[in-house]
C-alpha cells in the first residue's frame, strides 16, 4: 500500500500531530470557543468534533447532525485550523463534502463492518479527502488493515490510523484496553503509515490521559487525538474523559518528548517498546487479582451466611492440581505457579476469614 505522509498534505503538519476538540459538536458557540482557544494555544493542527454520534444504546445524544456542519466551516475560516469529523455511511460523506469538510475519520464501530467501510471508500473515490481510520472495537489487526486496504484501493493515499483501544467485557481501569502490541504490529507492517493515539477513548477518564499520552509518545507514535470541552462535566457525550479546554495547552506542554522525533522510532526503540508491553501485562495481572479478590469476598459472604467453613481442603487440592497442569500445558514455570497460587490462596483464606468474622460479630 502507498501512503502520503501528513507533512505532504496538511499545511500546518507538525510532529507529533495533535488533533483536538470536543467529543461532539453541541452548539455554534461551543465550536467557536474551542476553535479560538485551540488556535491560540498553537499546538493543535486539526480540530475534531463528532456530528453524528454512534451510540451503544438508543436514546442517548446522537449528535447535532448536518446542522452542525456550517458551524465547523465557519470556525475553520475564522481561526484557520481545519476540522475533522466522523462519517459512518455514504450519506454522511455526501453531506460532509457538500458542506466543505475536508477531513474525515471512520469510527471504531464502523471499521468492524467491511460493508460500511466499502460504502465510505466508494463515496470518497476521487475526492482526495484524507481519511483517519480508527481501529475496530475488537482486537483484530486484520480487520483494521482490511479497512485501510479498502480505502487505499479506492485511490485514497492520505490515510492516518487512530489507535483508540479495544473493548473488553470486564470492567478495567481503562475504558478500552490499549493492547499496544497491535498498533506496533501495524506500524511494523506498514512503516509509512502514520498512527496517532486516542488516549480519551482508551482511558475513558481524565485522570489517566497523561500517562496514556506519554506512553504513546514514548513508543514513537505519530501524534494524539484528544477530546477537550469548555465544560466537560456538562458535555452531551463522554463527559468524564474530556480535558478542560482552558487546561489543554498546558496538558500538551507537560508531555515530554524525550528524544528527537524520528519516523521509525518504534522499530529503533525495541527495549522501551518491550518494557511498555510488560507494564501492560502487569496492569492486567493487577486487574485480574482485584477481580479475583472481589469474587473471593462474595464467596466469603456466602460461606458466612450458610455456615460453610472457609478452608476446604478438597477445593484447594483441585485448584492447585488444575493450575499446575495448566502451567505444564502452557509452558509456564511450574515452581513459579506453585508459589504464586500458594500466596493467592493464603490471601484468599485471610480475606474470607475476615469477612466471616465480621458477619459473625454483626
For residue 329, the Cα-to-chain-centroid distance in whole angstroms is 33
Site string for Mn ion, 10-29 (x = CB under 5 A): -------------x------
Nearer to Mn ion (CB atom), residue 193 or residue 243: 243
For residue 40, the Cα-to-chain-centroid distance in whole angstroms is 27
State which residue has the least CB distance to ligand PEP. Answer: 107
Burial pattern 328-354, b for ≥16 Cβ within 10 A else e, equals: eeeeeeeeebeeebeebbeebbebbee
As measured in angstroms, the least distance from the Cβ of 198 to Mn ion is 9
Nearer to ligand PEP (CB atom), residue 222 or residue 238: 238
State which residue has the least CB distance to Mn ion. Answer: 23
Q: Rounded to an integer, what distance in angstroms lies between the CA atom of residue 198 and that of residue 133?
A: 11
Nearer to Mn ion (CB atom), residue 76 or residue 238: 238
Q: Which of residues 43-82 bind ligand PEP (CB under 6 A)?
A: 50, 54
CB-CB neighbours of 109 under 10 Å:
17
Nearer to ligand PEP (CB atom), residue 108 or residue 245: 108
Is residue 190 within 8 Å of residue 223, measured between CB atoms? Answer: no
- Using CB under 5 A as the binding rule, whether residue 86 contacts Mn ion is answered as no
- Please name the helix (run of DSSP H) or strand (run of DSSP E) that holds residue 195, with its range, or none: strand 194-197
Q: Rounded to an integer, what distance in angstroms lies between the CA atom of residue 12 and that of residue 80?
A: 10
Q: Rounded to an integer, what distance in angstroms lies between the CA atom of residue 136 and that of residue 162?
A: 10
Q: Which does 186 bind (CB under 5 to 8 A by kind): ligand PEP, Mn ion, none?
A: none
As measured in angstroms, the least distance from the Cβ of 241 to Mn ion is 7
Nearer to ligand PEP (CB atom), residue 79 or residue 105: 105
Among 238, 243, 265, 341, binds Mn ion (CB under 5 A): 238
Nearest to 227 by CA among 30, 5, 91: 30
- Using CB under 6 A as the binding rule, whether residue 134 contacts ligand PEP is answered as yes
Nearer to Mn ion (CB atom), residue 23 or residue 151: 23
Burial pattern 123-151, b for ≥16 Cβ within 10 A else e, equals: bbeebebbbbbbbbbebebebbbebbebb
- Using CB under 6 A as the binding rule, whether residue 107 contacts ligand PEP is answered as yes
Is residue 226 within 8 Å of residue 243, measured between CB atoms? Answer: yes
List the grid coordinates of 287.
486487574
Q: Which of residues 10-29 bind ligand PEP (CB under 6 A)?
A: 23
Site string for ligand PEP, 177-216 (x = CB under 6 A): ------------------------x---------------
Q: Which does 163 bind (CB under 5 to 8 A by kind): Mn ion, ligand PEP, none?
A: none
Nearer to Mn ion (CB atom), residue 184 or residue 225: 225
Q: Which residues of this chain interact with ligand PEP, rule CB under 6 A?
A: 23, 50, 54, 107-109, 134, 164, 201
Amino acid at each position: 500500500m502507498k501512503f502520503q505522509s501528513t507533512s505532504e498534505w496538511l499545511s500546518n503538519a507538525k510532529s507529533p500531530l495533535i488533533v483536538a476538540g470536543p467529543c461532539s459538536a453541541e452548539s455554534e458557540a461551543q465550536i467557536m470557543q474551542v476553535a479560538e482557544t485551540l488556535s491560540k494555544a498553537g499546538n493543535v493542527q486539526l480540530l475534531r468534533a463528532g456530528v453524528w454520534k454512534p451510540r451503544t444504546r438508543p436514546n442517548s445524544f446522537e449528535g447535532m447532525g448536518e446542522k452542525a456542519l456550517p458551524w465547523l466551516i465557519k470556525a475553520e475560516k475564522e481561526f484557520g485550523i481545519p476540522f475533522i469529523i466522523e462519517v459512518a455511511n455514504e450519506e454522511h460523506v455526501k453531506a460532509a463534502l457538500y458542506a466543505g469538510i475536508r477531513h474525515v475519520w471512520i469510527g471504531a464501530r464502523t471499521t468492524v463492518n467491511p460493508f460500511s467501510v466499502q460504502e465510505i471508500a466508494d463515496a470518497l473515490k476521487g475526492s482526495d479527502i484524507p481519511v483517519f481510520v480508527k481501529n475496530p472495537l475488537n482486537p483484530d489487526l486484520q480487520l483494521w488493515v482490511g479497512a485501510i486496504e479498502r480505502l487505499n484501493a479506492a485511490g485514497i493515499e492520505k490515510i492516518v490510523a487512530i489507535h483508540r483501544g479495544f473493548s473488553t467485557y470486564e470492567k478495567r481501569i481503562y475504558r478500552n484496553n490499549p493492547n499496544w502490541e497491535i498498533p506496533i504490529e501495524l506500524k511494523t507492517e506498514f512503516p509509512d503509515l502514520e498512527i496517532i493515539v486516542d488516549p480519551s477513548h482508551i482511558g475513558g477518564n481524565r485522570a489517566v490521559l497523561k500517562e496514556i499520552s506519554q506512553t504513546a509518545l514514548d513508543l514513537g507514535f505519530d501524534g494524539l487525538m484528544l477530546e477537550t470541552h469548555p465544560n466537560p462535566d456538562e458535555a452531551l457525550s463522554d463527559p468524564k474523559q474530556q480535558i478542560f479546554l482552558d487546561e489543554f495547552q498546558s496538558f500538551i506542554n507537560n508531555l515530554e518528548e524525550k528524544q528527537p522525533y524520528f519516523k521509525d522510532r518504534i522499530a529503533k526503540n525495541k527495549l522501551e517498546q518491550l518494557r511498555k508491553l510488560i507494564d501492560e501485562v502487569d496492569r492486567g495481572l493487577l486487574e485480574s487479582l482485584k477481580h479475583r479478590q472481589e469474587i473471593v469476598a462474595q464467596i466469603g459472604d456466602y460461606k458466612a451466611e450458610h455456615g460453610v467453613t472457609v478452608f476446604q481442603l478438597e477445593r484447594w487440592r483441585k485448584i492447585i492440581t488444575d493450575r499446575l497442569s495448566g502451567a505444564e500445558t502452557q509452558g509456564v514455570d511450574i515452581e513459579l505457579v506453585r508459589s504464586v497460587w500458594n500466596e493467592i490462596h493464603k490471601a484468599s483464606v485471610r480475606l474470607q476469614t475476615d469477612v466471616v468474622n465480621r458477619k459473625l460479630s454483626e
